[in-house]
Amino acid sequence: METERIEISDWGDCFLKVLGILGAHRKDGITEKMLATVLAGVEAPNQTDIIYLEDYPFKPDRKDQQDPVLNELEQKMLNSDVWVLAAPTYWGGLAGKMKDFFDCMRERLVRIDHLGGTHPDRFKDKHYLNITDCYTGAFENWVTGVTDQSFRTIDKVMSAAGVIKLHELVLTNTYGMSELPESKKQTCLEWGKRLNSVRKRDDSTVKRYIELFFMIAFMAFVTMGIQFGFHLVPRQGFWISYLSFVLIFYVLLGSILHFFTVVKHRRR
């Protein structure tokens, strides 16, 4: 299921700032090509920038001193509206450079309370798009989900920070690949163009689930009303049957939708 494109109106600036963050060993590899193609779809007056993490020798903050390189990276992230996070999948997990970046940025990405719990902070309601790739073939990745763990790692960090997910892109069978397949190039370019329509707003997930509940309640009422009118259901206990049906159907449908939009990741 395609992640819903987010559009709104309450944004003061007249242009959008899209930041690409590349966590790969090579600056000119296939991961960078996917990232560059996405950013190529961003049109003026919107602006783009790329952070190649290998160029930034960041270290974890100390209790008595913040790392100046992390300060620079943090400011770039704060000044942008959309992040395009690109890192290959190695050994079934997110590439180490990107993971190390997340680890070092942990106390900057979230607010940590006195019990060690994490809460969204200054990055809340920004947006992000995931990119990963792997040597695994398309069919094997579709069956086994080799790239799933990379997406889960990024999603877990972004969710904790309150950053809203737009979509994810994956490229398989990359061993020896030097150029993007034309179909994948077009997909990356298309999503880059979609970023031009992104606007800042709060996540509407809860609102959509509330709307879904009332749609199910209305359709169930109409359906059971027809059944009741034609004596297809018992006249006694109508409201109990109706309420139980709505709740059970809502939970099951909500679980399925959650699986296909959040749990099940792109594999081809």
Annotate 140-155 with DSSP letters as a single string.
Answer: HHHHH-TTHHHHHHHH
Looking at the DSSP bridge assignments, the partners of residue 267 are none
pTM value? 0.75
DSSP secondary structure letter of residue 54: G
- Segment 171-198, tens digit of pLDDT: 999 999 999 999 999 999 999 999 998 8
**How far lies 229's CA from each of 166, 222, 223, in Å?**
45, 10, 10
- Segment 2-34, tens digit of pLDDT: 333 333 334 445 689 999 999 999 999 999 999
Here the tokens at position 134 are 């792997």
The reported pLDDT for the residue numbered 268 is 72
Q: Compute how many other C-beta atoms are within 10 angstroms of the C-beta atom of residue 184.
A: 20
Per-domain residue ranges for the chain?
17-197, 205-263
- Segment 31-78, tens digit of pLDDT: 999 999 999 999 999 999 999 999 999 999 998 899 999 999 999 999
Task: List, in order, residues 6 or more apart from 187 with CB less than 8 Å away.
Answer: 169
The reported pLDDT for the residue numbered 249 is 84
- Segment 203-230, tens digit of pLDDT: 566 777 788 888 888 888 888 778 777 7
Calculate the average pLDDT of the chain.
88
Here the tokens at position 248 are 């059970």
> What gap in Å lies between CA 24 and CA 132, rounded to an integer?
10
The reported pLDDT for the residue numbered 200 is 56
The reported pLDDT for the residue numbered 27 is 93
The CATH T-level fold of domain 17-197 is Rossmann fold (3.40.50)
Beta strands in 106-184 (DSSP E): 110-112, 118-120, 127-133, 164-171
What mean pLDDT is predicted for residues 246-267? 74
